[in-house]
Amino acid sequence: MEEILNLCHIFIKMPRFPIYVVSQNSPCCNAVRKVRDRNMQFVLILLSQQSKDRQKLYSKEKILRLRDLCVPPRHAPSHRQVMA
């Protein structure tokens, strides 16, 4: 949780503006992908155990959205032909 809060701070903080878009190649997404199934609900549970002041720093909706924004990048199929 701490790694996500630290590395994704600019993307998940309150207030809502300006809005920053997270890159799939960012350290934030790398941290999100370390969480099993990118389950950001787990991060919210851990955050709920923190002080109320700390909870107010982050947008729950933005944290949950990280799951879909940080999908593992797909590798493009190779279309090279091999000549024998």
pLDDT score, position 84: 54
50-74: pLDDT as tens digits: 898 888 999 999 999 999 999 987 7
State residue 76's pLDDT score. 56
| CA 31 – CA 38 distance, rounded (Å) | 9
- Burial of 5-21, coded b for 16+ CB within 10 Å and e otherwise, reads bebbeebbeeeeeeeee
List the domain boundaries for the chain: 2-69
Decide: helix, strand or coil at residue 13: strand
Phi, psi angle pair for 70, to nearest 5°: -110, 40
Q: Mean per-residue pLDDT for 35-40? A: 93
Q: What is the pLDDT of residue 49?
A: 92
